[in-house]
Structure 1
Amino acid sequence: MKMFRLAAAFALLACAATMPSHAADAPVVSGNARFTVLTPRVIRMEYAPDGKFEDAPSLVFATRGSAPDAKSTVTREKGWLVIRTDLLTLRYKEGSGAFTAGNLGIASKKTRPAIDWHPGLEETGNLGGTARTLDQVDGDRHASDNSLLDLGDGILSRGGWHLVDDTGSFVFGNEKLPWVHRRACKDCTDQTFFGYGHDYTAALGDFAEVAGREPLPPRYAFGYWWSRYWNYSDDELRDLVGHFQRYGIPLDVLVIDMDWHRTDGLSWVHPKTDVNGQTMGWTGYTWNRSLFPEPGRLLHWLGEQGLKTTLNLHPASGILPHEDAYKDFMAALKADPAKPLPFEAADPVYMAAYFKTVLDPLNAMGVTFWWLDWQQFKESKAMPGLSNTWWLNHVFYTHMQEEGGKRALIYHRWGGLGNHRYQVGFSGDSIISWASLAFQPRFTATASNVLYGYWSHDLGGHTFRDESDPATRRIDPELYIRWMQFGAWSPIMRTHTTKNPNLTKEPWRFAPAEFDALRATVLTRYTFLPYTYTMGRKAYDTGVSLVRPMYYAWPDAGEAYKADGEYMFGDDLLVSPVTAAGDANGFAAHATWLPAGHWFDTADGAVVKGGRTVEGRYRLDEVPVFARAGAIVPTNTDPTLSVSHDRGARTLRVYPGGNGKAELYEDAGDDETYRGNAFARTALSTEWSKRMLRLRIAPRTGSYPGMPTSRRWSVDVVASAMPASVAVDGVALARSDEAKPGTWRLTGKDLTLHVTLPEHGYDKAQVVEVTWPANAPDVNGLVGEMRDVRAAVAWLKAHWQDVNGVPDDVSLAAQADLLIDYRPERFAEEVAAFRRRYAALDKTLAQGGVPADMRAAFKARLGH
């Protein structure tokens, strides 16, 4: 029972920590009505016919005490109770009974749009929340009947307000009921009003304040997860991990699906049922020793490789007599072994025995966290109305917190509002189709409207819509690569598929160019992991998730609501995944709406003007990602290293176009102390002038266990001309062809200036200054132009045969990046030469005898 006393105590303490003092912001009682100002934008409204109000935290509002800035004034005006905050005015006709449109209203003229609400007013323009699962969903529609997937309501609405009706909900217990129970008053009203106008981020911050924060997953969870529904054996998993290592593909989480345990009774033809009336075989807790003769030794070996392991659970059948743990489980409950017990998550005694005798021993063996795949029946049998999914998520997550030592993480289905406190979400078995891929960016971003910021999808899709046709059972490499690219820029990057021998997604099983694209995609994930983790912390602090819709930052732009195929990935990166097949030339046409301002196109290396929709054509290995002009993005210096092997070297990627500010957040990575003050931040800033860049890395603030005392920083200035000088703390650095401490170099292929700083203590600032010569050429868009010519010439050589070969100037244009590398002192001259050759490509090809149709095809392969 200790676990559950702690769980209840944790919830109550979290609530008590923010309960209002007996001051002006205390609850206001008027007869049988009570009003509590929780923030300037949030008011709780209760009506209890017996005058007895509910103070215990509910499943949704676990921490709903008033925030420090929840100040208000209370007056009585001609029979009306009037409560005013900085933004809202509530009026209630005293003594008038239960809430109606005639006796209660909330208004504001300070918000945009203005608010004039009363009970019963229909909310229009709600921006949606999320759904329990994408099982058998094709695009945004159910495959069974073509009906739209309902994303429900989120906290945000274009109307500027939202009402959460918590009436009749379950609440966490007290000393007499240390668990969960229904409210004592069945006829009470309990509603929480959010009024925010278009200040969406403030509304999300308020929801985090009153409903609990969005936890930061362990750092390893931001790495790559490998998962496949397959009856893997011990030796196959060892081979699989060896291949990842051999091909230089980092991996942090290994998911072992349900075949880790015995599946006795599971049959598609003649299924058996258990005492719960559930199909047997899905639930299991006893290792399949034919596949895993010594599971402890395998789990130990996986840990030595730096991998975290999760196992699949389907809990609904409970613990049955064939399980190894059955005897101990029944003994812990003092139950008759001859009478198996139905599964019941709402029974604290049952769950205590379940963890102690069944799951904790598996954790001790080496299981890192659990995958709650399905809970079978919708509600608890003991407490009708209590969602099994919701409650199991809470119990599993809280148990891991109480065990201590490691940061809590579960991997589960969405259970409803309030489940944002238990990451990570499993979105289920989506249909393999371009439509499904096209829908997932919107689905993922929209879930941020309920703070559910960590969806994990079956990248590449789970199963085909029609499994009866063998022709549909093969993976389309292009679709899979595009899905993986979305996955690299999503909260969790995890591949998965159904048990089908043709659906193999290991990167090394694909053709060389496809393998290269898949490996590069995983490396991209690891390159940006420090930025991703920093933004995960920001989600915890502010309620604004890592992946968020465009209208958060641009609420008054109509285009932001229509651009649901793109999203902000953190504060500074706009991601617009390609979600449609390419043409015969290998290009996918794709449009992206860019908000007002300037953006850096990472595919073409160009600063472009926003406030418009830009059209692009993207090769299979290219992703439309735009950085805010002037952004500073902390990255991983060596992306081939997994989180467990990360040596801590960081590279600051500096984008042109304006001054910037950012930070790098760090903590121990896998404990709960980040919720207190065990973390560190490093402030970053840039100042640009016409021919100079000044980057300042501030001294680190804060501390955490195991924190290193020094680090080797690097700086990458993208879209750079050859500099005249580079200095760190006033000391000039030398140019070098290798990345040595205290040197710099410019790489021609991506025109990136790489500066490797001397190793430096965290307690002092470092300042990097770069100057460019007065005659430095404009290199805006040059990276894309050079790439296009390289690709077009490669195509021409494969399709046009001539004794004289490709014309000289065309060949040299294709090697402009190498000429820059070979002749850095001639940078300006080589850039000018390339641009002359680029402008004359068609003329040069014609003079070289290339036919008109071949020249047209050549031109079509130039991305610009």
Structure 2
Amino acid sequence: MIRHTLHRWLAAVLLVAPAALPATALADAPAMHGTANAGAVIQRGHVRFTVLTPRLIRMEWSPDSHFVNAPSQVFVDRKQPVPKFSTSTQNGTLHIDTAELSLAYKLGSGRFDAGNLQIHSKDLKPSFDWHPGLAEDDNLKGTARTLDRFKGDVQLGTGKHMDLGQGLISRGGWHLIDDSHSFLFDHSAWRWVKKRACANCQDLYFFGYGHEYKKALGDYAKVAGREPMPPRFAFGYWWSRYWNYSDSELRQLVGNFERYHIPLDVLVIDMDWHRTDGLSWDPKYAKQDAFGQLVGWTGYTWNRSLFPDPGRFLTWLHGQDLKTTLNLHPASGMSKREAQYSAFAKAMGVKGGKPIAFESADKHYMSNLFKLVLDPLRKEGVNFWWLDWQQWPDSKKVPGLSNTWWLNYVFYTHMQDASDQRALIYHRWGGLGNHRYQVGFSGDSVISWASLAYQPYFTTTASNVLYGYWSHDIGGHMFDDSVPESKRHIDPQLYVRWMQFGAFSPILRTHSSKEAGLRKEPWRFSPDVFSALRQAIDLRYAMAPYIYTTAREAYDSGVSMLRPLYYAWPNNPKAYDARGEYMFGDDILVAPVTKPMSDGVAKVSIWLPPGRWYDRNRGGVVEGNRTIERDYTLDEIPLFIRAGSVIAMNPPSVHKLQDMDNSQLVLRVYPGGKSHTRVYTDAGDTQGYRHGQYAFTAVDSQRDGNSASLTVRPRDGRYPGMPASKQFTVELADSTLPASVAVNGKTYPMADHDKVGSWHYDGNTLTTRITVPAQSASDTLKVQVHFAEHPANIANLRYRMKRATAAVEWLKYHWGMPGPLPDDVSLAGQLGRLIDYSPRELPALVQQFNARLAKLPAEVNASHAKPEVKAHFAKLIKALETP
């Protein structure tokens, strides 16, 4: 192993690859094994078949019987365990049979076509008979390079509808990838692009899976590479705005995030970090450089008028526990205006101050770009790059090679090989295989309800090509050109709903174009809007342990964090129709609000899949396999959780995900059944997760009837920096008052507040909260809760409490009289507080609340309030009668 690593290191130096790569980094790099196991290969003359899995067969035809073993852009690891299969030859036809597929090829008949090659399914549903040329009409789509200037799925100016291309899965149960014309990787230390030797050869990959979509995605992940885990901080909140911020302004911005207690992990600095002299969007003033690009678009030299001392600024940012990324538009290459030009020109052998053209496929160019320009910036404190390629599509040196695809590969693998730190870039989709280089940047979408409504669907279909880490411009990037400047303002309601979708997206990042009126700082909005925005961000941070666990599951399984409903319910047509809904991990269904409110609520029609679901907004468990109607106020998000699930969460104190180590964990247990889950942890920012440096903690629970139990198993696994102990807080959502609580056999007392070694009943949220002392992560934790045999009826109570409180508050502002509100009105808005003060009186308090609600309209109607006030208040209370 040492000799092999040394050989690769020497090769890197000799080939002018990135300077002196550490051996540890090379060892951590994911495998690229082009040659399959010999036992999986069947070669007959001019054809070769490789059985990669029972559902995936590679099929090659070559006129000279020379076949490709090098990794391709798409398929990088063909060395898979050999599945069981059989071969036979009958009447000149080769038959290959796996557990799932039966292939027949007429030997000696030449190129694959409809007359000589067929594949039939066995016990798959739906069944299929495939041959080359068969149309795949039921493909479930993939993703697209960008949402630039798209309003919903229609592009401004062109009227073009979004083309999501083909995904890996189809309702027909099969998919074919023609890899015949993709480029290959060579065998150098920093693997580089090379052309295929045979232009007419066929290299096809057939996936046959029926409706077992998750297996198809898993097979693809095995041979095309897994979805790498981003560093943990990437799942926090990213602040981004296209604005010429100065050092001082960014310090003030960060200070405001702290002042308003809004979590933040990543600061994105757009292109004004570098000099943009001469840049103009107005055709009358815009200038082009030697390469036909806008002057000032490309740059690598800090703008010292904005950042007088970049190193000290970046050091300060890191002192605030923030990561940062800078925007790059590298198309114009290197000009003499750049501070690094002289050294770069010398390394490239260019004299006379000539501008040096950019070429992504030139290893010499890219190596010097990193060594002399970008790596020094990284040493100053830039954590990762925002690679915003928008220029010519293909490499000039290697025609047909997508610049977008190749730049993503080059930047990601350079960062991956530079150290054992987890690689991360932020870029546009370049095509199949780009899932190996996260995170995606979807571009400049138009600010509109149509754009918000389209993004859940756009993001779910991306999971069909394993592109599971889209980062959208939350809130939209730019206004519709047809909107007059006088009417260009942020719709606070639209922004809140977009932010709520962002909280349940792979990456949460706000962004906007350089317009003075596009200010998305939460503290600039009214109190109700600010509160809703902060709640969405806080919920994101609370959910981080669950989110991080789903990221690990995506790496292991190929099933992305955000996925369509038909993965789990492939035989139900409703799952395909519910384009605005998605699963966020295994246990949470999200149906984002994507239209404006009317009368203070947004009405949403939601298809609940089969099973039982906990309604997070209203409380209570509802039966699925039906469509329901719900309404949502501005601060409410349509979330449904599998009944009985346990969701791992952070305590409210966590405001930086890079510091989250799960030594403190909230386990929120929902009613309605039993579950088994695992909570994943690792070092957070190293590549050790790829080879065993991680741990899982298994959790089993059951909550139904008059009891609840939870068992936390000893932690399984190890990684550097792993905390020795864990402190758990167990929360029973929407519970009645417990009769008894026992932890590891010890009876816990009830307390008036959260206190270690006791339990507390939160009347405002109807939650039983059990605070357990820290214990060794190697020990088992067992919690047992019993409730009264005849508990209070709290079905939908939390929802009714919240709406009643809002109705009372509304009435106060519209009362219009000096006298007080009726006593029953005032008390109806305080049920949560009454329960907090006297939790043991819960049944009686609930009965009193219901009785008060019934009387309120009559009591207000008897007052001297205005008729319209009486009518509206009666309407608000009437709505609370229906669960």
TM-score, normalised relative to structure 1: 0.97
Q: What residue in structure 2 maps to residue 220 of structure 1?
A: 233
Match of 1:655 among 645, 667, 670: 670
Q: What residue in structure 2 maps to residue 814 of structure 1?
A: 829
Question: How far apart are 1:333 and its partner, in Å?
Answer: 2.3
**What do the CA deviations read for 1:295-316 (whole angstroms, capped 9, x no partner)?**
1000000000000010000011
Q: What residue in structure 1 maps to residue 7 of structure 2?
A: none
Q: What residue in structure 1 maps to residue 61 of structure 2?
A: 47
Question: How far apart are 1:279 and its partner, in Å?
Answer: 1.9
3-state DSSP of counterpart to 1:442: helix
Between stretches 665-674 and 14-23, larger displacement belongs to 14-23
Q: Does 1:494 align with 2:509?
A: yes
Q: What residue in structure 1 maps to residue 6 of structure 2?
A: none
Amino acid at match of 1:596: P
Between stretches 665-674 and 833-842, larger displacement belongs to 833-842
Match of 1:782 among 782, 786, 797: 797
Question: How far apart are 1:30 and its partner, in Å?
Answer: 1.8
Match of 1:257 among 270, 273, 288: 270
Q: Does 1:38 align with 2:52?
A: yes
Q: What residue in structure 2 maps to residue 479 of structure 1?
A: 494
Residues 147-186 of structure 1: pairs in structure 2 closer than 5 A: 147-174=160-187, 179-186=192-199
- Separation in 2, partners of 1:818, 1:459: 36
Q: What residue in structure 2 maps to residue 664 of structure 1?
A: 679
Does the 8 Å contact 2:670/2:703 carry over to 1?
A: no
Q: What residue in structure 1 maps to residue 649 of structure 2?
A: 635
3-state DSSP of counterpart to 1:370: strand
Question: How far apart are 1:113 and its partner, in Å?
Answer: 0.4
Question: How far apart are 1:272 and its partner, in Å?
Answer: 2.9
Question: How far apart are 1:749 and its partner, in Å?
Answer: 1.1
**What do the CA deviations read for 1:78-136 (whole angstroms, capped 9, x no partner)?**
11100001000000001111111110000013111001000111111110000000000
Q: What residue in structure 1 maps to residue 528 of structure 2?
A: 513
Aligned length: 860
Match of 1:352 among 343, 367, 376: 367
Question: How far apart are 1:604 and its partner, in Å?
Answer: 0.7
Between stretches 682-691 and 453-462, larger displacement belongs to 682-691
Q: Does 1:746 align with 2:785?
A: no
Residues 111-150 of structure 1: pairs in structure 2 closer than 5 A: 111-150=124-163
Q: What residue in structure 2 maps to residue 57 of structure 1?
A: 71
Does the 8 Å contact 1:219/1:670 carry over to 2?
A: yes
Question: How far apart are 1:838 and its partner, in Å?
Answer: 2.7
Q: What residue in structure 1 maps to residue 5 of structure 2?
A: none
- Separation in 2, partners of 1:176, 1:409: 20
- Separation in 2, partners of 1:663, 1:11: 28
Does the 8 Å contact 2:335/2:354 carry over to 1?
A: no
In structure 2, relative to structure 1, the CA distance for the partners of 1:533 and 1:761 (3 Å cut) is: same
In structure 2, relative to structure 1, the CA distance for the partners of 1:408 and 1:291 (3 Å cut) is: same
- Separation in 1, partners of 2:352, 2:369: 15
Amino acid at match of 1:612: R
Residues 369-408 of structure 1: pairs in structure 2 closer than 5 A: 369-408=384-423
In structure 2, relative to structure 1, the CA distance for the partners of 1:590 and 1:12 (3 Å cut) is: closer
Amino acid at match of 2:86: T
3-state DSSP of counterpart to 2:853: helix
- Separation in 2, partners of 1:57, 1:7: 23
In structure 2, relative to structure 1, the CA distance for the partners of 1:721 and 1:592 (3 Å cut) is: same
Amino acid at match of 2:474: L
3-state DSSP of counterpart to 1:735: coil
In structure 2, relative to structure 1, the CA distance for the partners of 1:178 and 1:558 (3 Å cut) is: closer
Does the 8 Å contact 1:630/1:657 carry over to 2?
A: yes
Q: Percent identity?
A: 54
Match of 1:830 among 840, 845, 852: 845
In structure 2, relative to structure 1, the CA distance for the partners of 1:482 and 1:93 (3 Å cut) is: same
Between stretches 26-35 and 330-339, larger displacement belongs to 330-339
In structure 2, relative to structure 1, the CA distance for the partners of 1:808 and 1:91 (3 Å cut) is: same
3-state DSSP of counterpart to 1:515: helix
Question: How far apart are 1:746 and its partner, in Å?
Answer: 1.0
In structure 2, relative to structure 1, the CA distance for the partners of 1:17 and 1:381 (3 Å cut) is: closer
Q: Which runs of 5+ in 2 are unaligned?
A: 1-11
- Separation in 1, partners of 2:32, 2:621: 50
**What do the CA deviations read for 1:788-827 (whole angstroms, capped 9, x no partner)?**
1111111112223345533322322221111101111211
The alignment's C-alpha RMSD in Å is 2.0
- Separation in 2, partners of 1:795, 1:69: 68
Question: How far apart are 1:856 and its partner, in Å?
Answer: 3.6
3-state DSSP of counterpart to 1:329: helix
In structure 2, relative to structure 1, the CA distance for the partners of 1:175 and 1:723 (3 Å cut) is: closer
Q: What residue in structure 2 maps to residue 729 of structure 1?
A: 744
Q: Does 1:334 align with 2:334?
A: no
Does the 8 Å contact 2:184/2:194 carry over to 1?
A: yes
Match of 2:436 among 421, 426, 444: 421
Amino acid at match of 2:418: E
**What do the CA deviations read for 1:649-669 (whole angstroms, capped 9, x no partner)?**
210111000001111100000
In structure 2, relative to structure 1, the CA distance for the partners of 1:542 and 1:658 (3 Å cut) is: same
**What do the CA deviations read for 1:714-763 (whole angstroms, capped 9, x no partner)?**
01110011111111101111222232211111111110111111111101
Q: What residue in structure 1 maps to residue 615 of structure 2?
A: 601
Q: What residue in structure 1 maps to residue 772 of structure 2?
A: 757
Does the 8 Å contact 2:682/2:695 carry over to 1?
A: yes
- Separation in 2, partners of 1:689, 1:442: 35
Question: How far apart are 1:168 and its partner, in Å?
Answer: 1.5
3-state DSSP of counterpart to 2:738: coil
Does the 8 Å contact 1:138/1:435 carry over to 2?
A: yes
**What do the CA deviations read for 1:196-223 (whole angstroms, capped 9, x no partner)?**
0100001100110110000010000000
In structure 2, relative to structure 1, the CA distance for the partners of 1:169 and 1:821 (3 Å cut) is: same
Between stretches 273-282 and 562-571, larger displacement belongs to 273-282
Q: What residue in structure 1 maps to residue 261 of structure 2?
A: 248
Q: Which runs of 5+ in 1 are unaligned?
A: none
In structure 2, relative to structure 1, the CA distance for the partners of 1:851 and 1:12 (3 Å cut) is: closer
Does the 8 Å contact 2:28/2:690 carry over to 1?
A: no
Residues 181-196 of structure 1: pairs in structure 2 closer than 5 A: 181-196=194-209
- Separation in 1, partners of 2:717, 2:737: 37
Q: Does 1:99 align with 2:112?
A: yes
Match of 1:231 among 244, 262, 266: 244
Question: How far apart are 1:855 and its partner, in Å?
Answer: 4.1
Question: How far apart are 1:602 and its partner, in Å?
Answer: 0.6
In structure 2, relative to structure 1, the CA distance for the partners of 1:248 and 1:176 (3 Å cut) is: closer
In structure 2, relative to structure 1, the CA distance for the partners of 1:532 and 1:18 (3 Å cut) is: farther
- Separation in 2, partners of 1:851, 1:610: 43
- Separation in 2, partners of 1:94, 1:73: 17
Question: How far apart are 1:274 and its partner, in Å?
Answer: 2.9
**What do the CA deviations read for 1:355-387 (whole angstroms, capped 9, x no partner)?**
000000000000000000124111101001000
Q: Does 1:290 align with 2:324?
A: no
- Separation in 1, partners of 2:828, 2:740: 28
**What do the CA deviations read for 1:198-250 (whole angstroms, capped 9, x no partner)?**
00001100110110000010000000000000000000000000000010001
In structure 2, relative to structure 1, the CA distance for the partners of 1:848 and 1:776 (3 Å cut) is: farther
3-state DSSP of counterpart to 2:785: strand
Q: What residue in structure 2 maps to residue 21 of structure 1?
A: 37
Question: How far apart are 1:410 and its partner, in Å?
Answer: 0.1
- Separation in 1, partners of 2:61, 2:178: 12
- Separation in 1, partners of 2:541, 2:476: 22
3-state DSSP of counterpart to 1:250: coil
- Separation in 1, partners of 2:661, 2:106: 64
Does the 8 Å contact 1:523/1:639 carry over to 2?
A: no
Between stretches 836-845 and 848-857, larger displacement belongs to 848-857
In structure 2, relative to structure 1, the CA distance for the partners of 1:521 and 1:14 (3 Å cut) is: closer
Amino acid at match of 2:561: L
- Separation in 2, partners of 1:175, 1:146: 45
3-state DSSP of counterpart to 1:712: strand
